[in-house]
Amino acid sequence: MMSVEPWIILSFAALIFVIGLVGLVVRRNILIILMCIELMLNAVNLTFVVLSKSQSNLEGQMAVFFIITVAAAESAVGLGLVIAMFRTLKSVSTEDIQLLKE
């Protein structure tokens, strides 16, 4: 079985993180923003797993379980907020959040 070099996987994780960061900054749809945050968290998870495997310890893999738990809670709360906002404003654009302040 052929193994992949850790720097290749770390480069891939960095690319995924940058794609998520660009999507977070550029997009205005809240659902897309939530997906970009999930993409960034998965890139961090991949980094933790690769570095944990290369150092032969389980600390990074344990951190991944906590990050997955936080990501699941963030998705549930975020989706609930998006549904409530859509019911009120009939839109999920970040520009419409300004209307909720009034």
The structural domains of the chain, ordered by start, are 6-101 (1.10.287.3510)
CA pair distance 43, 60, nearest whole angstrom: 13
18-53: pLDDT as tens digits:
999 999 999 988 889 999 999 999 999 999 999 999
Residue 70 has pLDDT above 80, yes or no: yes
88 against 13, higher pLDDT: 13
**Nearest-CA neighbor of 6 among 42, 53, 43, 64?**
53
Spatial neighbors of 14 by CB under 8 A, at least 6 apart, are 43
Tokens of 37: 């945050």
pLDDT score at 4: 87
Q: What average pLDDT score do residues 5-12 get? A: 94
* Strand partners for 93: 29
56 against 19, higher pLDDT: 19
73-100: pLDDT as tens digits:
989 998 998 898 888 888 888 887 776 6
Say which amino acid occupies 85.
Answer: M
**Nearest-CA neighbor of 33 among 23, 41, 43, 22?**
23
